């Protein structure tokens, strides 16, 4: 193993760099919730992912899965509850109430099955 050192003042410090994979990751609300959950409840896994430089790609994958699942749930629940564009035109307040309820249900399911499930 060849390690380069740099003399700073009277100390030899190793020249350490992170792998620059030039990828940017979209970390939204679900990724941040899962990150906090890992940090508080599964510290070993969190620090293993962090030190192996895989945390952001892992969280990006969680975010994508959660968003896809959320969209699927909202569509299926809206169809099941018969929340349509016709309802939106006829009674907008009822449509808003039902859609908010559906979105809250979908968020709770995603949180339970993906975000806080390890």
Residue range 12-32: mean pLDDT, rounded: 80
61 pLDDT more than 90 = yes
- Residue 63: which residues within 8 A CB-CB, separation 6 or more? 26, 27, 28, 30, 31
What is the mean pLDDT of the segment spanning 28-41?
96
pLDDT band at 90 (very low <50, low <70, confident <90, very high): very high
What is the pLDDT averaged over residues 65-88?
96
Question: CA-to-CA distance for 13 and 51, rounded, in angstroms?
Answer: 20
Domain boundaries, the chain: 26-115
CA distance 37 to 52: 19
- The pLDDT of residue 44 is above 90: yes
Range of lowest pLDDT (22-26, 46-50, 66-70): 22-26
């Amino acid at each position: 193993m060849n390690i380069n050192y740099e003399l700073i003042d009277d100390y030899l410090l190793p020249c350490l760099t992170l792998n620059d994979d030039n990828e940017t990751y979209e970390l939204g609300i679900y990724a941040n919730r899962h990150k906090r959950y890992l940090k508080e409840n599964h510290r070993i896994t969190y620090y293993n992912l962090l030190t192996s430089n895989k945390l952001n790609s892992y969280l990006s994958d969680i975010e994508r899965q959660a968003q896809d699942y959320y969209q699927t749930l909202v569509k299926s629940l809206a169809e099941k509850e018969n929340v349509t564009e016709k309802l939106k035109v006829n009674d907008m307040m009822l449509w808003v109430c039902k859609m908010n309820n559906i979105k809250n249900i979908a968020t709770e399911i995603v949180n339970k099955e993906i975000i806080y499930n390890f």
